[in-house]
Structure 1
């Protein structure tokens, strides 16, 4: 039986004349577009020059793109510093402003004037002023051999600090330098970091998170995943701490917004800060991810998510406390599941082995220098990967299971106080550290439920004890295993732990720190949570981390040489560096795809699909009454197409974590959407790219504007933006012929089952 979505592919006859769109692999440095990518980008539909994308001398697309906080991207869409990003990127800020009485997560938030825009302490927006190849400066004086990876890194870091500081001396700019191609090259980034970022608007979660975890990492998608902020600056338009006197930032460039829409084959450019990829891993690295690390982390997070889900559904207070935490945990839990399946489907280990066989043959039949440099590499990599496996697993169980228990993680954060006092650190230093810890108490307990965490501990401690290789489990925990056997035993231990610890409530934690401030260390040192955390972390640092670091340092050194060899072996290939949270460009085209035999997905979704998914009994698919009302009236304004509103579309761009919130730009340099996800079948693209299945998922800007204007009544924000083009088809009047339009589209798509 042939399975299709409601909006399945158009008839094959309509596609016979369209260009074949395949996923476009690569996360490219904007600095190098002219020499590496401009011609290819133009062949796919780009109308701009490389200089218009990245320029130091004039305003360009890069000047409208920011790193939002530490892990997302945002784009500037007005000359008043208005910033768009994903709802899930602004989720933490929305949550911090929310309470049971003012539930902005559930109801959304819209500032109807500048005075209502909410400040967000600690949130930053970072522009890239320029980037520069500084490889020769960073590697100056660094030996190419006869040096350990650790010693090499010390020399590199010394050079990085010197070069980075000199570049911004006597300016308000900041700088950082990152390795590329596994440390074969280094690039410096000069940045301008703004500190006064205010929340302007956010849709309710029933729009911003529509589909929830059910649809996360999946296509077709109907999520209005956006939030709106504004950058404020001092009187000189430069970064300044929050002040009521600050003014909206005036950018060098802001993105015009196109209402012209998209069609298959259209050029798409994603500009953002992708977090991390590992495209040049060896077969042993891929196998470690696929068969060892991912399964362990998935198991732990699965157990934790079930508990959080139950408690969040039972209590609005817990729901608000844990919404951001849950989203963060669930995001990569589902991603790892898809990644593991994708690697299996691609037979990734075998494909890497085939590449390694070719590399070995090339190395062994090359010059003497080539043989000496590259022939021994792969056996040494295999040796280190095999040696590090148990340590990798033990490390994963510490970070995911042990420290996944908030009480243990919190106690661990206080361990430095114990260490400082026992080592007789200066009294002033101890006082400063205690004051800092006391200041953090309220923030921790604002989003903490001891009752929920107790359940998490009862589930995760057995997983930690059973999953860690026996030889790497702390003696303290081994003793607990014998004293409290099986899950009932662990439950008994956990109850005693939470009943006796003084770190489970805000008042008692403050009292503990008050005692530490007086010099009474015992109350903290002897707390059962501190004792457990100390036993786990001390053992980790002594028995796991050193060996793990030794082997991973060896792997890093060998991997750097391996990547250098691959580039030397394939001189006709354009290599892009792995993502490392620096500004990158990826480009592709709007395209449908076939995820599996007999399954075909179209390239877009719309408001009709939201209503078809609507289910008031399922929190993931609740539809706000106002949205349903607009749908019934067909009150779509200028944002309609064929009697509905486009919601999302997919294209072939290479993206990863950190690209959330990235602008998706057409060939004319206009914003057509906001990147917010990848398809589940493409999540393995961080390690191995599949051109037939990888798709990035984009919120159509027309749905964003529709929600802001027609749903929220915040049309003043739309007026502030630069809107170009018009919808490619007018909406039928008040729903006229809407049913016929829908039926016609289904007929064009073929049978729907």
Structure 2
């Protein structure tokens, strides 16, 4: 744990003697520009050929109107008939839900040759940014006189909901959200148009869309055809509507023009998208928490979970399909987290942040007005994280117990439903609540069973309870301690037996025997429900403490950013928070290690060379090799390579959520689709540096070549005007 008090006092004289107030520039904090900050981005100087207003101009149509948010990813309209290009992995869950052992679209891909053949993309919705307004003053005024941390965060969240609901009442066609731009400091109201009917149009086969598998994930050189095409539908009147046969393709305000000539090395490029979350404006202790607790714990847990899920689906295609999305998400996160750990150590980021925070503390103490206002800030931050570190294991266990064990989620739904029923006065009122809500409860439970496997649940549940048994001090799970288990094996076996004996372990038995009517639900209980209820009671108490800490952090981080802005004499670009951003750079290679250089283009030749390894993840369609040997490149070859470029590398600032973002050239034309970062760039969430931060996209020429020469999806090219 960082002891700021002693470090600050020891360094005071030294820092003042060497010009302490020159803040370190070793960790750039800019690169993901909100639309309101485009004038600060320097786009024209960097190489943009179109006007900034062609990208975004309030009240006018611009490139941003072609952007969509597809669940947790980004996509873009590429035709006037609602056709969207995004990543294969962004459509993965919908493809999984549409697949079966008989029609395995995950493995074999899918091509709809007309509108009638397009398939419902279950679980996918589309959001389009309509407008936004800064509402920071209204929110911060609401908490100006509140000192209690828990009450502060509660009031902020309540006010955010209130403002969003007000916006929705003013315009019922939009969905509104108030996003926190700087924690505890600035808030923006975003208005979104939502499209609920999304359909699968063209999904490449798995050995194209996932070529390289987890071996190549977060790795360069890359040869992955990570693209998919979807279509947005609305009602015949143009309003948002759920999936229905009578719905019609959505007509976007703007769609992107495809440039089939692609790009060259060093060309200017930019991305519009919805990057998830970055945490660059956080103190050293936050980085230490990531390095010591969250990243290693989560990566190891997900590694274990995936081993169990892969084992369960090895000889059962139905189970393999049911668990596919969960495995893919876990694998992506755990490799990302291990990349972050590597970056944290290689960059000595905790130590670098310590130095910055120490210098910041001296800046505060050097000025009377700042010392009066922020004098205790850095010590208060340290005190906050001491409390966080003290219960880190417990927090992470609680955060993962339900997502790890599907039947505990089901038990939570059942217990919560029963609790609501029992709160009603009289049998008639209780039965009425049952009838009104049973369909919604079943819908919620159906989602849990969609990725459930009994053997997997038992193995992971056993691991979680064995871990909890070994926690000590403030990290002890009191429910586990009170059960007085004799060993970790005893704790693990108890949850296994509860999972085995519960009627919840069979969806059919649950619906037939427990949820069949009001009285059956009231009368049913078992050990699994009792365990979940005991854990929920303890988690509720723990959550109260967590909300209080969250309120404290909200106030501290607002002050932290405010004083850093004074120190650096500049305003910051806020951390990414799933709102629309722009980033730009160049097609550019890099040197990740001594005596090495990574070129910015890969080719079909390289894909075939990987295939020669004999590894399963490097298998590819034979038609690719046939076309390549025949030099059947069409118009999609890069002349200096005498080959079709597959993936491209660039120094733009991206993170999770930028998956599927359109890569555009200086004229605003689509030349690729972003899908990943290099392994060294997984640290981007915490720090960005031009020397090692590289992102990866699929070259549009490869997308067009695959559609044309391999999958015979020429209708896609025609619709996009190629």
2-structure distance, mates of 1:154, 1:531: 30
* Cα deviation, residue 173, structure 1: 2.3
C-alpha contact 2:313 2:320 (8 A) present in aligned 1? yes
Tell me how far apart the structure 2 counterparts of residues 23 and 148 of structure 1 sit (CA, whole Å). 34
Q: Contact conserved, 1:651 with 1:695, CA < 8 A, in 2?
A: yes
Normalised to the residue count of structure 2, the TM-score between the two structures is 0.91
What is the rounded CA distance, in whole Å, between the counterparts of 2:483 and 2:619 in structure 1? 45
The residue aligned with 1:30 is 35
The partner residue of 1:623 within 620, 623, 626 is 620
Residue 478 (structure 1) aligns with: 481
Give distance in 2, aligned partners of 1:494 and 1:397: 15
Alpha-carbon distance change, 197 to 698 in structure 1, aligned in 2, over 3 angstroms: same
Please, which runs of 5 or more residues in structure 2 have no aligned partner?
1-26
Residue 148 (structure 2) pairs with residue 148 (structure 1):
yes
The answer to whether 1:77 aligns with 2:55 is: no
Map 1:732-747 to 2 at 5 A. none
1:417-468 per-residue CA deviation (whole Å, 9 max, x = no partner) reads: 23223433642223333332234444443432212322333333323433x4
Name the counterpart of 1:587. Answer: 584
Q: What is the distance in 1 between the residues matched to 2:242 and 2:478?
A: 49
Q: Give, in whole Å, the separation in 1 of the partners of 2:275 and 2:564.
A: 23
The match for 2:46 is 44
Equivalent positions of 1:595-634 (< 5 A) are 595-614=592-611, 618-634=615-631
SS in 2 for 1:722: coil
Corresponding position of 1:397? 397
Measure how far apart 1:52 and its partner are: 0.9
The match for 2:92 is 91
User: Which residue matches 1:379?
Assistant: 379
* Residue of structure 2 in register with 1:288 after alignment: 289
Alignment gaps of 5+ in structure 1: 1-21, 724-753
Cα distance in structure 1, aligned partners of 2:484 and 2:678: 42
Counterpart pick for 1:431 among 428, 435, 439: 435
**How far apart are the structure 2 equivalents of 1:481 and 1:290?**
33
User: CA 1:329/1:240 → structure 2, altered by over 3 Å: closer, same or farther?
Assistant: same
Q: Residue 348 of structure 1: CA displacement?
A: 0.7
- What displacement does 1:191 show? 1.6
Cα distance change of structure 1 residues 445 and 24 upon mapping to structure 2, 3 Å threshold: closer
Cα shift readout 1:238-285 (whole Å, capped 9, x = no counterpart): 323333222211111111111222223211211111111110111111
Cα distance in 2 between the residues matched to 1:476 and 1:241: 43
8 Å contact from structure 2 (residues 202, 230) kept in 1 = yes
Measured in 2, the distance between the counterparts of 1:146 and 1:114 equals: 56
2:3 maps to what in 1?
none
Contact 2:28 2:687 in 1 (8 A): no
CA, structure 1 residues 469+228, in 2 after alignment: closer, same or farther (shift >3 Å)? Answer: farther
* Alignment counterpart, residue 569 of structure 1, candidates 545, 567, 570: 567
Q: Superposition pairs for residues 432-471 of structure 1, below 5 Å?
A: 432-466=436-470, 468-471=471-474
CA deviation profile, 1:504-536 (whole Å, cap 9, x unmatched): 11211113432662254242xx32222222222
The offset of 1:554, in angstroms, is 1.1
Aligned counterpart, 2:16: none
Q: Tell me if 1:421 matches 2:425.
A: no
2:658 maps to 659
Could you tell me how far apart the structure 1 residues matched to 2:495 and 2:238 are?
54
What is the distance in 1 between the residues matched to 2:123 and 2:99? 17
Root-mean-square deviation (CA, aligned residues, Å) is: 2.2
Q: 2: CA distance between counterparts of 1:60 and 1:207? A: 33
Cα shift at 1:688: 1.8
Residues 299 and 334 in structure 2, CA contact (< 8 A), matched pair in contact too:
yes
| Corresponding residue for residue 551 of structure 1 | 549
CA contact (8 A) 1:593 1:600 kept: yes
Distance 1:541 1:113, change over 3 A: same
